[in-house]
Structure 1
Amino acid sequence: MSDASDFIRADVSPSGPGCADCEKIGSWWLHLRRCAFCGHIGCCDDSLHKHGTTHAHTSGHRVIQSFEPGEDWFWDFGTETAFDGPALAPPRSHPLTQTTPGPAERVPADWEEQLAGNA
């Protein structure tokens, strides 16, 4: 099996400030994850659509990093382990002005109930 470092390209910028797939469908997310190989931003497994994990499984890009302010942990889907990795190209998180969950204008009033029903 390949080493996690084979799935990290530190020079690749993130795809944008929010979940690329939720943006396409007009949805919202709880937390964000960044593909360490191609920069794709997807929503976390606690979000409705779990686009970060879906991207990892469909693309074969098995390493993600948190895209939340103040978090720099990595996760390797191949070994199911967390680890410390290199600094990736900026920006390293979504904008501090972006709400969590976000984006604010698309988050429904019953967002907590929706996520509880999605668990």
Structure 2
Amino acid sequence: MTNQSICEHISALTEIRSAQAYVCEECIKTGSSWVHLRTCQTCGQTHCCDSSPNKHATKHFHRSGHPVVSSAEPGERWVWCYQDEQMIGY
């Protein structure tokens, strides 16, 4: 990471929430598919990424205001803050 300081939303995390199931519930409801999954660090819901047709994780941020997601992909360890457009690995 560069000398940029970590945003307040990521700094406030005390633990990283993991996906409860490896599915996007919103895609399941509509019969759609997803590419990768992201887990909201505020409420724990897991949604599909922006490479997926429906971009449910970003839609969740805009609807809820929950700023930070983590990758729900096996082997990936990072968080992203939508509000501050900052990513860090952990």
TM range (shorter): 0.7 to 0.9
Structure with a larger share of its residues in helix = 1
1:18 partner amino acid:
V
Please list the CA deviations of residues 53-89 of structure 1 after superposition, one character each: whole Å capped at 9, or x if unmatched. 111111111100011010011000111010135xxxx
Considering only CA atoms, is the larger Rg found in Structure 1 or Structure 2? 1
TM-score for the superposition, normalised by structure 2? 0.79
Residue 59 (str. 1) matches residue 64 (str. 2): yes
Task: State the percentage of identical aligned residues.
Answer: 40
- Relative distance call for 1:11 and 1:43 in structure 2 (3 A) is closer
Structure with a larger share of its residues in strand = 2
The residue matched to 2:61 in structure 1 has which SS? helix
Give, in whole Å, the separation in 2 of the partners of 1:35 and 1:7.
14
Q: Which moved more, 1:61-70 or 1:11-20?
A: 11-20
Root mean square deviation, CA, Å: 2.1
Residue 18 (str. 1) matches residue 23 (str. 2): yes
- Relative distance call for 1:44 and 1:55 in structure 2 (3 A) is same
TM-score for the superposition, normalised by structure 1? 0.61
Q: How many residues align?
A: 84
- Give the superposition deviation at 1:6: 7.0
